[in-house]
Structure 1
Amino acid sequence: MGSEEAKDPLKGVDWKAIGRELQKDPSAGGKQVIKKRLPKKIRQIPDCYFLPRMSLPSTIAFYGACIAGGIGAGMLLEVWINKKIKEDGGVIWEFDK
């Protein structure tokens, strides 16, 4: 078991003394400090990137249905307005008399 003690050369080192020496004399080992650098290019990923995407046919069907629904609602509104105008005697504004 004596060979295990020989494998650890830093077993009896006084780390506090070494730390004090480095603080007193920055030229002793302060230049060997590795500075952390930021990456040159940071990729910005939006939050919506991770949402599931629909296939092209289903996207076309979804937006096509929304557009068709809007057109249909506009046509129904136009029919309702024309019906109300006929009920009132064909007068849109009272000051047109």
Structure 2
Amino acid sequence: MGRFIYDSTLTVTLDDDLLGQLQAVIGAKFRLKQSFYFSWGYPANTGESRTMIWLTPSISVQFHYRASRAPALDRDRMATLLAEANSPNGLVLIIGA
């Protein structure tokens, strides 16, 4: 499990493969100087809540991987995540589903 860190204040634990997909999508948006909403939640039975942040190239994000190998990127999954990031609701993940 890796970590996504937003603005050095918020940390989310994610699977390394998902973190790799997320890094590719965020990188693609930031290269185009595009901002977007990013939210994540947890399955209803966990009692956890949902969080939404505004991702913009001017705010620091970090990707920390547990494994030393680079995660494999799935082009279809990346296309789906990028399409979500381009939608009015932004990129939405359910963690642990």
Query: Normalising by the residue count of structure 1, what TM-score does the alignment of the two structures yield?
Result: 0.22
**Larger strand fraction of residues:** 2
**Larger helix fraction of residues:** 1
Higher relative contact order (CA 8 A, sep 6+): 2
Query: Normalising by the residue count of structure 2, what TM-score does the alignment of the two structures yield?
Result: 0.22
**Structure exhibiting the larger radius of gyration computed from Cα positions:** 1
